[in-house]
Structure formats: structure tokens, C-alpha cells
């Protein structure tokens, strides 16, 4: 069974789309958000809890799983779905971003990359063919080609070289497929509009069934990021799924969907939850702030998550102030519930023809993180979790 996107409705004012992404392990209503389970787990939560808050798809990372526990272990135990006890769809990133951001890089060339593990310093290698074999061995529903992302601020020549190499690697990845799982391309090109368009056009010419947009949300301004998303989407086949990698704040999800993105992932919602930062319709709050110490009401009135149905904001503040693990779990449940509800609401208003009004109202009421703070955090943070 192949992966396919069934489009149901499109907002003609913005390009936002609603549909269903059909996979061998279930159908994903789109637009959709995938929590990050880099090493086969969404930190602090079980698969049952994830299903309970509406999560329909997870993102795992081939780089991390290759290093530990290793493909041999996972294969011997029945593949990644069985290993992590998750029966829903799984997307795997090839590990290109992690190789270039976490590992100690030894050499990159046309054949692939040589690097040293960030865990134990052991020498490793990854080629386009090996990246595909690794992801097929894991049993992913949707796999990514091996790409060469570039850091924020890289010069035009370096970005062009990496984007062109990513295109050649994509061709080799296609040739390496054994027919297990669906392979999607990754559009690169940094923050250069023409390079983005060239990369997207080349990937589209290769006939991939789906397309990811990589190399963004690394420190560029929101204005630049959305310009690059638009440049990346424009040359892609309209009927193919579009996946924006590494974007996960509520206001960014709304803006990405407005630009025709169907699938997103990010470690941000779960990472900030463990630091006491929670999403609300008015913006993020930090539960360790003194104003929550005596608050009897929940974190957000009307939220159906277990935290808000059961506990006061004061209790969650107490858990964080005393270092109790339950606090991390409750905050993570809340943030993922918030995002799954947001995606479901966007899907509904796209189908009903009211997405433009919804977008305007949501963004008017939501106070995003200060841009300077956001950029500083993005430049420090990695994408894995």
C-alpha cells in the first residue's frame, strides 16, 4: 500500500488545504502536526497517552536510532512500530540535519558523509543509499532522502553547492529504494529565493510522491522564513503532500497551513513544556511565574486535556517548583493537546470555507514570543529530541 494524499478542500484566499494522508498504518487527517520521537519516544509520554490527545503520526530520526540501539536491534524486535509500541504512521528523517549539526563532521563528499558520533566519538558513515536502507529497515511509512542542510547565515556559494548535492543525492535515493515505505524529497536552498525555487523544481521533476521543505526555522526572521516556504511550495505538484520540517509554535502552524503546508513537526512543544512553558490561546505562559502560585483556575479554561480538567495552575506551578516529574508529563500533555486541537480546528474551518477569518482572529488574539528571543533560541537549539 502506498502513501497518498486525498485533498478535500482548499481555501482560495490563502491556499490552505484539508485532506487525508493515507498510509499503511492509518489515515492522517490533514493539516497535521507530528510530535518528535527522535529515539522512538515522545519524552515523558506513552503511545496510549499520545493517541488520547489526538496524535496521529510521529516523527522518528534515523541518525539517532542508527547510533542507539542500532538497526540490528530494532529489526530483530520486529521493526520500529513494534519496538516502540506505536501502531500509527511513522515518518523518519534521514538524519542529514543531525549529521551536520550534532555529529563531529569528518568529511562530506559526493559519496556521502563521514562523521564521528556525538555520543561516543565512533566513526560513522552515511550515504544516500545507506540512508534509504536504514529507514526501510526501520519500517517507516514515510522516509526522507539524505540531504545536506546548511547553517543559518551560510554564503550563497555554499548553499548552492549543498542544494545541488542534495538534488543528486535525491536521485540516488530513488534508485536505492526496495519498495518498502514511501520516499519523499527535501527542498533546500537556505534563504535564497532562486535557489529554493531551483531545488523545488528539480525535486518535482524527479516525480517524488511527497515533498519536505527543510533548512528553515534555524534563526532567520519569520518574514524570511515565510518567503522561503512560498518559494519552495510554488514549483511543487499541487496534488502532492507538502511537509514543513522543524516548525511547531502555534502562530507558525497557522501561517504554514495558510501557505499550503499539509504536515509539520517540531520538538519545540514538548521541549518547552519540560521547561514550564505552556500554550494558551493568548500566547505562552511560564508556569513557574509567581502569579500562578495561588491560582485556583486551570492553565486554560475550556481546555479538555487531563491537566486542565483535573488540576489547578497552582498545583502545576508547585510540581515544577519542586522538581516533580509529573509536572513535565502534565505540561507535555497540555501542549500536545493544544496543538492537536488547533490542527483539527484549522481542518474544520478550511472545509467550511472560514479559514481566512479564523487565521485573522487567531493571530489577533495570540501573542507570539518576542522575535529577538525567538531567533536567539532557534540559533542555539537543534531539531532533535
pLDDT digits (tens, 9 = 90+) for 374-384: 666 665 554 45
Provide the pLDDT for residue 71: 98
Are 251 and 177 within one domain? yes
Mean pLDDT of 121-143: 97
In a domain, 328, yes or no: yes
In a domain, 333, yes or no: yes
Which position among 93, 141, 147, 262 bears the catalytic label?
93
Mean pLDDT of 167-181: 96
Report whether pLDDT(170) > 60. Answer: yes
Q: Would residue 265 show up in a list of annotated catalytic residues for this protein?
A: yes
More confident residue, 347 or 374: 347
In a domain, 195, yes or no: yes
Which position among 87, 120, 265, 370 bears the catalytic label?
265
Report whether pLDDT(372) > 80. Answer: no
Percent above pLDDT 70 for the chain:
96
Mean pLDDT of 17-26: 97
Report whether pLDDT(77) > 90. Answer: yes
Are 284 and 255 within one domain? no
Non-local CB neighbours of 322 within 8 Å, separated by 6+ positions: none
Provide the pLDDT for residue 373: 67
Are 131 and 168 within one domain? yes
Query: How is 348-362 classified by DSSP, letter by letter?
Result: HHHHHT-HHHHHHHH
Mean pLDDT of 48-75: 98
Are 63 and 211 within one domain? yes
In a domain, 343, yes or no: yes
Q: Would residue 93 show up in a list of annotated catalytic residues for this protein?
A: yes
In a domain, 372, yes or no: no
In a domain, 381, yes or no: no
How many structural domains is the chain composed of? 2
In a domain, 378, yes or no: no
CATH number of the domain at 197, please.
3.20.20.105
In a domain, 313, yes or no: yes
Are 213 and 351 within one domain? no
Query: How is 258-309 classified by DSSP, letter by letter?
Result: HTT--EEEESHHHHHHTTTEEEETTEEEETTSGGGTT--S-SSTT--SHHHH
User: Within its chain, how far is the Cα of 269 from the centroid?
Assistant: 10
Cis bond before residue 153 (omega within 30° of 0)? no
Are 247 and 282 within one domain? no
Report whether pLDDT(1) > 90. Answer: no
Q: Provide the domain limits for residue 306.
A: 277-365
More confident residue, 106 or 89: 89
More confident residue, 106 or 215: 215
What is the helix (H) or strand (E) element at residue 203, kind and residue range? Answer: helix 193-205
Are 136 and 112 within one domain? yes
Are 340 and 213 within one domain? no
Are 244 and 151 within one domain? yes
Provide the pLDDT for residue 383: 46
Are 219 and 319 within one domain? no
Return mean pLDDT, the chain: 95
What is the helix (H) or strand (E) element at residue 29, kind and residue range? Answer: strand 26-30
Are 243 and 299 within one domain? no
Mean pLDDT of 78-88: 98
Digit-coded pLDDT (tens) for 219-259 = 999 999 999 999 999 999 999 999 999 999 999 999 999 99
Are 137 and 161 within one domain? yes
Percent above pLDDT 90 for the chain:
93
Non-local CB neighbours of 183 within 8 Å, separated by 6+ positions: 132, 143, 144, 145, 173, 174, 177, 208, 209
User: For 74, which DSSP code?
Assistant: H
Amino acid at each position: 500500500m502506498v502513501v497518498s494524499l486525498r485533498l478535500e478542500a482548499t481555501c482560495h484566499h490563502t491556499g490552505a488545504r484539508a485532506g487525508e494522508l493515507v498510509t499503511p498504518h492509518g489515515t492522517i487527517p490533514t493539516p497535521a502536526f507530528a510530535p518528535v520521537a527522535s529515539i522512538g519516544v515522545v519524552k515523558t509520554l506513552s503511545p496510549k497517552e499520545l493517541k488520547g490527545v489526538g496524535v496521529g503520526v510521529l516523527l522518528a530520526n534515523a541518525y539517532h536510532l542508527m547510533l542507539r540501539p542500532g538497526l540490528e536491534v530494532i529489526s530483530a524486535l520486529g521493526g520500529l512500530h513494534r519496538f516502540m509500541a506505536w501502531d500509527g504512521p511513522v515518518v523518519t528523517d534521514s538524519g542529514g540535519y543531525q549529521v551536520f549539526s550534532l555529529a563531529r563532521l569528518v568529511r562530506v563528499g559526493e559519496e556521502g558523509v563521514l562523521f564521528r558520533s556525538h555520543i561516543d566519538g565512533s566513526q560513522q558513515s552515511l550515504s544516500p543509499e545507506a540512508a534509504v536502507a536504514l529507514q526501510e529497515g526501520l519500517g517507516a511509512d514515510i522516509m526522507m532522502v539524505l540531504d545536506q542542510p546548511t547553517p543559518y547565515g551560510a554564503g550563497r556559494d555554499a548553499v548552492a553547492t549543498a542544494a545541488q548535492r542534495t538534488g543528486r543525492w535525491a536521485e540516488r535515493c530513488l534508485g536505492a529504494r526496495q519498495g518498502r515505505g514511501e520516499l519523499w524529497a527535501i527542498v533546500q536552498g537556505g534563504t535564497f529565493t532562486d535557489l529554493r525555487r531551483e531545488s523545488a523544481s528539480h525535486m518535482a521533476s524527479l516525480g517524488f510522491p511527497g515533498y519536505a521543505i527543510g533548512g528553515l526555522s534555524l534563526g532567520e526572521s519569520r518574514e524570511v522564513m515565510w518567503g522561503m516556504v512560498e518559494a519552495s511550495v510554488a514549483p511543487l505538484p499541487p496534488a502532492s503532500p507538502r511537509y514543513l520540517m522543524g516548525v511547531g509554535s502555534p502562530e507558525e502552524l497557522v501561517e504554514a497551513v495558510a501557505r499550503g503546508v499539509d504536515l509539520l513537526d517540531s520538538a519545540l512543544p514538548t521541549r518547552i513544556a519540560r521547561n514550564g512553558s505552556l500554550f494558551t490561546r493568548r500566547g505562552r505562559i511560564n508556569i513557574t511565574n509567581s502569579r500562578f502560585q495561588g491560582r485556583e483556575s486551570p492553565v486554560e479554561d475550556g481546555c479538555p486535556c487531563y491537566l486542565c480538567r483535573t488540576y489547578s495552575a497552582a498545583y502545576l506551578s508547585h510540581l515544577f517548583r519542586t522538581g516533580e516529574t509529573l509536572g513535565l508529563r502534565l505540561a507535555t500533555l497540555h501542549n500536545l493537546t493544544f496543538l492537536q486541537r488547533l490542527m483539527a480546528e484549522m481542518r474544520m474551518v478550511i472545509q467550511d470555507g472560514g479559514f481566512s477569518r479564523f487565521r485573522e482572529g487567531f493571530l489577533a488574539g495570540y501573542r507570539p514570543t518576542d522575535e529577538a528571543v525567538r531567533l536567539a533560541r532557534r540559533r542555539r537549539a537543534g531539531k532533535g529530541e
